């Protein structure tokens, strides 16, 4: 039986509290009979590998039909994930997370795009939804539902 070719490489820009971020590249026989070469993002922390199903980066780079012999798997893996492809895969991954974290501010007369992964600094527990819906400038400037923020801050 042929073994699945795999390799991983880190993307330090995406390291987080979930662990060291890396991309796993693999080529395998899919249940539909195709040979599939795909990349997916995962975090490694204390020897444990984690990923969010439908939440982390995942992309198929090559599909082919044929018998999944070891030679066919190795050849397709080398073709799909050659050295020239690694910068493209890294760029695809970074673009995926940039889009995932980007939001548009819902404050009146704002509409600025912002990175929702920037944490709320005033009262993170009470204002989590504000940090996900309002840009930092509106949060700091009081344009993010200021009467609600005042009420939450007074209650805390």
What tens digit of pLDDT does each residue of 74-125 get? 999 999 999 999 999 999 999 998 888 777 776 767 777 767 666 555 555 5
Q: Contact at 8 Å (CB) between 97 and 14?
A: yes
Q: What angle do CA 87, 90, 117 make, to 5 degrees?
A: 150
Kindly report, residue by residue over 47-87, the tens digit of the pLDDT. Answer: 999 998 888 999 999 999 989 999 999 999 999 999 999 99
d(C-alpha 39, C-alpha 61), whole Å: 7
Where do we find the tokens 């795909």?
Answer: 38
CA distance 32 to 68: 12
Give the predicted TM-score (pTM) of the model: 0.67
């Amino acid at each position: 039986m042929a073994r699945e070719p795999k390799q991983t490489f880190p993307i330090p820009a995406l390291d987080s509290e979930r662990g060291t971020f890396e991309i796993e590249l693999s080529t395998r026989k899919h249940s539909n009979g195709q040979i599939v070469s795909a990349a997916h993002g995962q975090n490694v922390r204390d020897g444990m590998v984690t990923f969010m199903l439908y939440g982390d980066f995942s992309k198929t780079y090559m599909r082919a039909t044929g018998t999944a012999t070891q030679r066919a798997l190795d050849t397709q893996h080398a073709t799909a994930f050659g050295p020239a492809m690694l910068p493209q895969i890294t760029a695809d991954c970074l673009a995926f997370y940039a889009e995932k974290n980007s939001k548009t501010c819902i404050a009146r007369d704002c509409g600025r795009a912002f990175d929702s992964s920037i944490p709320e600094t005033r009262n993170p527990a009470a204002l989590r939804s504000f940090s996900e819906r309002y840009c930092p400038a509106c949060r700091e400037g009081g344009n993010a539902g200021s009467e609600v923020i005042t009420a939450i801050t007074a209650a805390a």
